[in-house]
Amino acid sequence: MASTCANHSSGGESCLKPAPLSCKNCRLVSEVAKSFEFGGSKYFWGNTPAIDVLRLDKNEGVDYDKELNVLFAASGDLRNVIKTITSLPDSFDKELSVVLNDKEFDVFARNAIMLLLCLVIVEPEEAANAITHIWYSSLIQESHINLLQEKIRPRIAQVCARIESNSEDALQTTWEFETSSLQMTLSNDNWKRLLNFLKVPAGLTVDRANEIRTAVTLAKECWDFRDRKYSTMLRPHRLAEERFREDGIMVPFGGSRKPYTVPNP
């Protein structure tokens, strides 16, 4: 006999129908329909601290003088990639090749955009600022959207222009920079999708973007989850967490939100 559905509405009412579908993750609850599940299956931010997967100084040693080839299969976000590269000893001067992939195109597209920003922006502080907000903030500055439009979109558009004459289903391109290069292979359709990631969708206002976001981050159905998380945090951390859930802007608690006027595409 099927167990009773585990779905409960925000008004406190319970679904009493038999539930044939078990949660494939926890195996603890059953539901009548997939539509009762809350949230999606995409993980845009990693939920563990970044790690240096090489730890070259602790393993091969700081005097290691051979090329390195590193694969981040199903990489998720870039945190482990960044941590690994920035942790290399200053003495390492050989070629480093890093391969990333991920089944979620949204995650892959954001990684590709951020890697291009790393390579096209000359000033490290400017690059770090832009990438931080494109990575985490729901609203970004006018200067950030200008970077996407002026520095990144033309490069992707050039690739898309080659699709019409491409007889294959996928297209590979390589961008060369002073000391680095970035090679990317995507299906023809995904190149076009990537181009659309670089502009704010038509009709997406600041108010609408906030409405979409807070429907998840402040959902009434998840009060209990938030309260349990907050119960283990210091009061200043709770306030900062709640502020970020409300406005989605990655700045210090007392920092000005005024410059952030553009929905993050």
- Model-level pTM? 0.80
Confidence of residue 252 (pLDDT cuts 50, 70, 90): very high
Which pLDDT score, from 0 to 100, does residue 76 have? 87
How close are the terminal C-alpha atoms of the chain, in Å? 47
Confidence of residue 5 (pLDDT cuts 50, 70, 90): low
Residues 85 and 110 in one domain: yes
Total domains in the fold of the chain: 3
Residues 218 and 184 in one domain: no
Which pLDDT score, from 0 to 100, does residue 11 have? 54
Contact call for residues 5 and 34 (beta carbons, < 8 A) = no
In a domain? residue 259:
yes
Which pLDDT score, from 0 to 100, does residue 21 have? 58
Integer Rg of the chain from CA: 22
Residues 104 and 180 in one domain: yes
In a domain? residue 115:
yes
Phi, psi torsion values for 69, nearest 5 degrees: -125, 120
Whether pLDDT at 107 is above 70: yes
In a domain? residue 50:
no
Contact call for residues 264 and 139 (beta carbons, < 8 A) = yes
pLDDT tens digits for range 150-162: 999 999 999 999 9
Q: Which helix (H) or strand (E) holds 115?
A: helix 105-120
Mean pLDDT to the nearest integer, 160-180: 90
Residues 192 and 210 in one domain: no
**Average per-residue pLDDT in the chain?**
87
Mean pLDDT to the nearest integer, 188-192: 94
Residues 190 and 229 in one domain: no
Which pLDDT score, from 0 to 100, does residue 46 have? 78
**CA gap 42, 30 in Å, rounded:** 21
- Residue 204: name the closest of 136, 244, 263, 143 by CA: 263
Residues 94 and 169 in one domain: yes
Whether pLDDT at 260 is above 70: yes
Residues 94 and 154 in one domain: yes
Which pLDDT score, from 0 to 100, does residue 168 have? 86
Which pLDDT score, from 0 to 100, does residue 1 have? 52
% pLDDT > 90, the chain: 70
Which pLDDT score, from 0 to 100, does residue 154 have? 96
Contact call for residues 152 and 116 (beta carbons, < 8 A) = yes
Which pLDDT score, from 0 to 100, does residue 167 have? 82
- Between residues 42 and 185, which one has the greater pLDDT? 185
Residues 72 and 191 in one domain: yes
**Which residue range is the domain that position 27 belongs to?**
1-37
Whether pLDDT at 31 is above 80: no
Mean pLDDT to the nearest integer, 230-235: 95
Residues 220 and 186 in one domain: no
In a domain? residue 54:
no
Residues 26 and 111 in one domain: no
In a domain? residue 173:
yes
Residues 223 and 160 in one domain: no
Residues 72 and 189 in one domain: yes
